[in-house]
Structure 1
């Protein structure tokens, strides 16, 4: 892999992370209302919904082409759902599901 591609991927990933993180950090000291309405609950659910949608859209063509990818995808999806349910954060579950997918794929290739 070219170092330019790796550097570009890291730069885009960092910009994406900061684009999502900084608005939350800058508003962290603001007073929050005591009661969350339906809009707050809806906005809290967008993170996990978008990750699940990306998982389905990106994995469907791969699974249709190579059925061996179905099991690692299901492992990643299960880890995503369980860890999001436990932590209510989207960062850790996304990383854990990517790790779970990679490990399941590696184990399948060894067996």
Structure 2
């Protein structure tokens, strides 16, 4: 293995670690109640929903392009994911609810055909 590959791997690993560690260590302040506050905290909180939505689009786009009938289940999952996250602020509950909605809509569409 060449030294260039090892150096690139080390650099990527260090930058990845710092990207995850530094914002949490430097920018997230805690209030007296123990909750995070500040603009960086709001950005970090929104990364979860943004990454889930991006994964939904990236993984669903090829399926929808091949089979347009998968558009409705994907939209149902995305809309429910967004609404549940907006109401609960819990990425876990929102993701699970969106996945269940996708599965149910897809199953109902298969049974209707």
CA shift, 1:79, in A, is: 0.5
1:32 and 2:30 aligned: yes
Map 1:97-108; keep pairs closer than 5 Å.
97-108=98-109
- The match for 2:59 is 58
- Please report the TM-score for the alignment, with normalisation by the length of structure 1: 0.70
Across the two proteins, how many residue pairs are aligned to each other?
Answer: 81
CA shift, 1:36, in A, is: 1.4
Partner deviation per Cα, 1:78-101 (whole Å, 9 max, x = no partner)? 110000001001000100000000
Q: Secondary structure at the match of 1:57?
A: helix
Find runs of 4+ consecutive structure 1 residues off by over 3 angstroms: none
- Please report the TM-score for the alignment, with normalisation by the length of structure 2: 0.68
Partner deviation per Cα, 1:1-42 (whole Å, 9 max, x = no partner)? xxxxxxxxxxxxxxxxxxxxxxxxxxxxxx933571110000
For the 8 Å contact 2:52–2:95, the answer to whether it is kept is yes
**Partner Cα distance (1:41, 1:33) in 2:** 14
Q: Unaligned 5+ residue runs, structure 2? A: 1-28
Greater relative contact order (CA < 8 Å, ≥ 6 in sequence) = 1
Q: Unaligned 5+ residue runs, structure 1? A: 1-30
Structure with max Cα Rg: 2
For the 8 Å contact 2:73–2:102, the answer to whether it is kept is yes
Q: CA RMSD in A?
A: 1.5
